[in-house]
Amino acid sequence: MIHQAKHMDAFTSNILDDSQVIASGEMGMRDMYYIEKIYASAASGGDVLNLAGAPAVLHLV
């Protein structure tokens, strides 16, 4: 949770200082993809799911 709080604080600073956001929307989209897969796995009894198709964001790092 501390990690998320740091991201939120940084994002707030970006808005207030009109500075560039480090974490892009593409990274958020990738995170949501994985979260949806986790929920799908839990709903199906913990089945291992294929993570192929995750949005590619490694070029941003």
Confidence (pLDDT) at 58: 57
Question: In this predicted structure, what is the pLDDT of residue 17?
Answer: 94
Q: Which pTM does this prediction carry? A: 0.57
CA torsion 6→1→3→51, rounded to 10°?
Answer: -130
What is the model's pLDDT at position 8?
A: 79
pLDDT of residue 59: 57
Among the listed residues 34, 35, 24, 22, the one whose alpha carbon sits nearest the alpha carbon of residue 57? 24
Average pLDDT across each block of 10 residues of the chain; the chain has 61 residues. List them in order.
Answer: 75 90 78 88 87 70 48
